[in-house]
Structure 1
Amino acid sequence: MILYKRILSYIKPYLHILSIALLCTMLAAAGNLYLPWIFRDMIDKVLNAKDYYMLNVISASIVVIFLLRGIFLYGQNYLMSYVGQHVIIDIRSEVFRKLQRLSMSFYDKNKTGTIMSYVTNDVNALQGAMVDNTIELVTEGIILIGSVCAMVYLDWKLTLFTILTFPVVLYFMNYFGKKIRRSGGQIQEATADITSVLQESVSSARVVKSFVREQYEIERFERENEANLKANLKNAKYMATLTPTIEFVAALGVTLILWYGGNNVIAGETTAGSLVAFLAYAVNISNPIKRITRVSGNIQRALAAAQRVFDVLDLREEVQDLPDAKALPAVTGNVSFEHVTFSYNAGDEILHDLSFTAKPGQAIGLVGPSGAGKSTVASLLPRFYDCDAGTIRIDGTDIRHVTLDSLRNQVGIVPQETILFNGSVYDNILYGRLDATKEEIEEAAKAANAHDFIMELPDGYNTMLGDRGVNISGGQRQRIAIARAILKDPRILVLDEATSALDTESERVVQEALNRLMVGRTSIIIAHRLSTIKNADRILVLDKGKLAEDGTHEELMAKNGLYAHLYQIQYRTNKEES
Structure 2
Amino acid sequence: MHVFKKFVKYYKPYQSVFWMDMFCALLVSAVDLAFPQILNWATKDLFAHGAQAIYRILPWMAIGLLVMYFLRFLGRYYITYQGHVMGARMESDMRQDLFDHFQRLSFSYYDRNNTGEMMSKLVSDLFDISELAHHGPENIFISLLKILGSFALLLWINVPMTLILAAVTLIMLLFCIDQNKKMRAVFMDNRRKIAGVNSRVQDSLAGIRVVKSFANEELEQKKFEKSNLEFLDSKERNYRRMGSYHAGNNFFQGILFTTVLVSGGYFVARGDILLTDLAVYALYINIFINPIDVLIEFTEMFQKGYSGFKRFLEVVETQPEIVDAPDAQELTDVQGTIDYQNVSFSYDDSSNVLQNIQIHIEAGKTIALVGPSGGGKTTLCSLLPRFYDVTEGSVSVDGKDVRSLTLKSLRSAIGIVQQDVYMFGGTIRENIAYGKPDATMEEIIEAAKNANIHDFIVSLPDGYDTDVGERGTRLSGGQKQRLSIARVFLKNPKILILDEATSALDNESEQHIQQSLERLAKNRTTIVIAHRLSTIRNADEILVLDDDGIQERGDHKTLLAKNGIYAKYYNMQFEGLEA
- TM-score of the aligned structures, taking structure 2 as reference length: 0.96
Amino acid at match of 1:444: A
Q: Which amino acid aligns with 1:502?
A: L
Report the equivalent of 1:202.
205
Deviations along 1:482-506, whole A, 9 cap, x unmatched?
0100111111000000011111100
Aligned counterpart, 2:280: 277
Counterpart among 140, 144, 154 of residue 141 in structure 1: 144
Query: How far 1:145 moved relative to its partner?
Result: 2.1
**Contact 2:139/2:298, CA 8 A, preserved across alignment:** yes
Cα deviation for residue 545 of structure 1 reads 5.1
**What is the alpha-carbon distance in structure 1 between the residues aligned to residue 141 and residue 574 of structure 2?**
76
1:165 aligns with one of 165, 168, 179: 168
Q: Answer yes or no: is the 8 Å Cα contact 1:247–1:286 preserved in 2.
A: no
Partner of 1:23: 23
- Native 8 Å contact 2:500 2:530 kept in 1: yes
Q: Within 2, Cα distance between the matches of 1:150 and 1:413?
A: 74
User: Aligned pair 1:266/2:269, yes or no?
Assistant: yes
Could you say which residue in structure 2 is the equivalent of 1:534?
A: 537
Query: CA contact under 8 A between 1:265 and 1:271: conserved in structure 2?
Result: yes
8 Å CA contact 1:38–1:58 kept in 2: the answer is no
The secondary structure found in structure 1 opposite 2:328 is coil
Q: Say which is worse superposed, 400-409 or 424-433, in terms of deviation.
A: 424-433
Q: 1:173 to 1:574 in 2, by over 3 A?
A: farther
Residue 448 of structure 2 aligns with which residue? Answer: 445
Which AA in structure 1 matches 2:119?
M
| Equivalent position of 2:98 in the other structure | 95
Distance, in Å, in 2 between the alignment partners of 1:283 and 1:504 is: 82
Check conservation: 2:94, 2:126, Cα contact below 8 A: yes
Could you say what the CA RMSD is over the residues aligned between the two structures, in angstroms?
A: 1.8
AA of the residue aligned to 2:384: L
Q: CA deviation at 1:48?
A: 7.1
C-alpha distance in 2 between matches for 1:293 and 1:27: 22
In the aligned structure 1, how far is the partner of 2:571 from the partner of 2:160?
99
Q: Alignment partner of 2:388: what SS? A: coil
Specify the code of the residue in structure 2 equivalent to 1:202.
L
Partner AA of 1:294 in structure 2: E
Mean Cα displacement is larger for which, 143-152 or 203-212?
143-152
Instruction: Report whether the alignment pairs 1:455 with 2:458.
Output: yes
CA–CA distance in 2 between the matches of 1:4 and 1:273?
46
1:508 to 507, 511, 515: 511
Partner Cα separation in structure 1 for residue 548 and residue 238 of structure 2 = 50
- Are the counterparts in 2 of residues 180 and 301 from structure 1 also a CA contact under 8 Å? no
Q: CA deviation at 1:279?
A: 2.2
| Partner in structure 2 of residue 364 of structure 1 | 367
Distance 1:481 1:440, change over 3 A: same
Query: What amino acid is aligned across from residue 200 of structure 1 in structure 2?
Result: D
Partner of residue 375, structure 1: 378
In 2, Cα distance between equivalents of 1:544 and 1:62: 86
Letter in 2 for 1:179: K
Q: Which residue of structure 1 aligns with residue 398 of structure 2?
A: 395
Label 1:213 to 1:317 Cα distance change in 2 as closer, same or farther (>3 A).
same
- For structure 1, which segment, 566-575 or 327-336, has the greater mean C-alpha deviation from structure 2 after superposition? 566-575
CA shift, 1:349, in A, is: 1.4
Query: Aligned equivalents of 2:333 and 2:161: distance in 1?
Result: 82
The CA deviation at 1:300 is 1.4
Deviation at 1:232, TM superposition (A): 1.4
Q: For the residues of structure 2 that align with 1:574 and 1:129, how far apart are their CA atoms?
A: 66
Match of 1:189 among 186, 189, 192: 192
Tell me the equivalent position of 1:300. Answer: 303
Letter in 2 for 1:117: S
Alignment match of 1:494 (pick from 484, 493, 497) = 497
Paired residues in the alignment total 576
Residue 29 (structure 1) shift: 2.0
2:320 and 2:191 mapped to 1: Cα distance? 24
The answer to whether the 8 Å contact 2:21/2:138 transfers is no
Structure 1 range deviating more: 8-17 or 291-300: 291-300
Q: Which amino acid aligns with 2:190?
A: I
Identify which of 389, 410, 417 aligns with 1:386: 389
Q: Is the 8 A contact 1:181 1:297 kept in 2?
A: no
- SS across alignment from 2:7: helix
Aligned to 2:578: 575
Moved more, 33-42 or 332-341: 33-42
For residues 4 and 277 of structure 2, the distance between their equivalents in structure 1, rounded to whole angstroms, comes to 39
Query: In the alignment, what sits opposite 1:428?
Result: 431
Which residue number in structure 2 is paired with residue 321 of structure 1?
324
**TM-score with structure 1 length normalisation?**
0.96
Asked if the contact 2:106/2:322 (under 8 Å) is kept, the reply is: yes
Question: Does the aligned pair in 1 maintain the 2:128–2:301 contact within 8 Å?
Answer: no
Contact kept? 2:417, 2:501, Cα under 8 Å: yes
2:347 maps to a residue whose letter is Y
Is 1:9 paired with 2:3?
no
Q: Deviations over 1:447-483 (max 9, x none)?
A: 1111111111121111111111111111011111001
The alpha carbon displacement at 1:43 in A equals 4.7
The percent of aligned pairs where both chains have the same amino acid is: 38
Judge conservation of contact 1:184–1:302 (CA < 8 Å) in 2: no
Opposite residue 197 of structure 1, the aligned amino acid is R
Partner of 1:344, secondary structure, is coil
| C-alpha distance in 2 between matches for 1:142 and 1:457 | 67
Superposed CA deviations along residues 387-442 of structure 1, whole A, max 9, x for unmatched, are 11110011110000010001000011001101111111111111111222111111
Q: 1:407 aligned to 403, 407, 410, which one?
A: 410
Aligned position for 2:333: 330
Structure 1 residue 59: deviation in Å? 4.9
User: Does the CA contact (< 8 Å) of 1:183 and 1:301 recur in 2?
Assistant: no
Separation in structure 2 between the aligned mates of residue 225 and residue 108 of structure 1, nearest angstrom: 24
Change beyond 3 A, Cα 1:284–1:5:
farther
